[in-house]
Amino acid sequence: MFVIPMFHVLFWWKKPLVELGFRSGDIKTGLKFMLVMIIVLVIPFAFGGSCDQIVRTEYPMAKELISNHKFIPGYELFYVICYYIAWEFYFRGYLLFGLKDRYGTMEAILIQTISSCLIHIDKPFAEILGSIPVGIILGFVALKTRSFWYVFIVHATLGVLVDLFIIYYQN
C-alpha cells in the first residue's frame, strides 16, 4: 500500500509527493482537527471498543502483547510506521489526492471511503460501519489541510489506544 503507489506517483504520474499530501499543509486547521477528534471521538471510541468482546478478539493483532508487555513499545511503533503511514498514504494520499482532479472532490472522497470500508470487511461490524462516516470525514480533512498527516495521527492514535486499553484495562 506504500511502495508500489509511491513509485507509480513518482515514475508514472511524475508528480511530487507533496501533491499527494506529503506535506504539513494547513497546520492550524490540522492541529484543531486532531485535538477535537482525539478528545471527542478517539479516546471514547477506543475505550468503548476495548470493552467489546468482538473487538478484544481482533485486537491487539499480536496477542503476545497481552501477557508480555515488554514488546508493546516496539510493536506499536512498528505498527504506526509500517501500517498506518502506508494506510493513510494509500487511501488519503494516493487515492484521494490522486483521483480528486480527474473525478472531482466528492467522487474521490467516496472512492477512497468505499475502498477503505471494503478493506475493513473482515473486522468487527462496528469498525466496518464506522469506517464509512470516518472515511468521509478524514477525506474532507485531508483535502482541507492538503495533508494526510493529521488524519494519520488520528487514525494511528485510535489503533494504538484500542490496543493499550485492551492490554491494560480490559484484562
**Residue whose grid cell is 501500517:** 83
Q: What is the pLDDT of residue 47?
A: 97
**Residues in the chain, how many?**
171
Return the closest-CA partner of residue 17 out of 133, 148, 120.
Answer: 148
Tell me the CB-side half-sphere exposure of residue 100, using CA atoms within 13 A.
18
Say whether pLDDT at 70 is over 70.
yes
Q: What is the pLDDT of residue 1?
A: 84
Q: What is the pLDDT of residue 171?
A: 61
**Residue whose grid cell is 498514504:** 89
Distances (CA, A) of 77 to 36, 49, 73: 23, 21, 6
Phi/psi region, residue 151 (left: phi>0; alpha: psi -120 to 50; beta: rest), is alpha
Q: pLDDT tens across 19-54, in order?
A: 999 999 999 999 999 999 999 999 999 999 999 999
For residues 77-95, average pLDDT: 97
Q: pLDDT tens across 103-147, in order?
A: 999 999 999 999 999 999 999 999 999 999 999 999 999 999 999
Return the closest-CA partner of residue 88 out of 1, 160, 163, 146.
Answer: 1
